[in-house]
Structure 1
């Protein structure tokens, strides 16, 4: 089992939850193909939507359930690759108060650079810290 951070806008995370699917980087096939059943995905949202206000929080938590990726239509004329997933009820957790305790953020001063990619793996200890805070525990 691996733990992943996906970087999407809050609106995209909500759409993913409603669809019961995870996707990354506008539906890039290689990124969902690299997932396994029972992998976990925590979505980080830098903004509310493409031109929206800053969010800078972990906004969704999912567990991959689909054995294989497939292509689907996100909206008319826009398709992408996804994996089926089960989303949990979580609270949004701001990233800034957690930065000092996250080992996958090497440069605390320029922490935003860490979240530039569409998907990246994180160590189990960091996953437990974030997921615990999202699922109702202490950060």
Structure 2
């Protein structure tokens, strides 16, 4: 069995909560290519800058964690001509945690002053140690395999 990889997806909190409720992830406004980078058994943590896309209140927190399930990205018709790609995810129960509590401990953030810059592409791979730090802060007891 291959080693899992660890990812951060970036999405507004309202979009993350829809994904958690529906058991799926969407990345970069529903693009296919970011989802193809994920493999079954990988883990994703969501960082939410705001409550809503392009508006809303500032959140700047990690808001969800899940394991990527078997299967390929698929199209989902959300209506009004919007048909994004999705990937199935098994989310686990977590507590939201502000990123500012973890900035000094996260190795993938090289520039602590301009820390938000690393999130600009919507998906980034991070070291397992950083993922574990985030998961621990979110009160995850253990990442249980299916």
Normalised to the residue count of structure 1, the TM-score between the two structures is: 0.94
Q: Does structure 1 residue 20 correspond to structure 2 residue 23?
A: yes
- Whole-angstrom distance in 1 between the partners of 2:21 and 2:124: 23
Cα deviation, residue 115, structure 1: 1.4
Q: Cα offset for 1:18?
A: 1.3
Q: In the comparison of the two structures, how many residue pairs are matched?
A: 137
Q: Distance in 2 between matches of 1:24 and 1:100?
A: 26
Instruction: Provide the alpha-carbon RMSD of the alignment.
Output: 1.2
- 1:63, 1:45 → 2: CA distance? 18
Give the match for residue 8 of structure 1: 11
**Partner SS state of residue 14, structure 1:** helix
What's 1:95 paired with? 99
**Among residues 33, 43, 48, which one is paired with 2:46 in the alignment?**
43
1-side partners of 2:67 and 2:43: how far apart?
A: 4
Structure 1 residue corresponding to 2:61, chosen from 57, 60, 63:
57
**Any gaps of 5 or more consecutive residues in structure 1?**
none
Matches within 5 A, 1:55-134: 55-134=59-138
Structure 2 stretches lacking a partner, 5+ long? 142-146
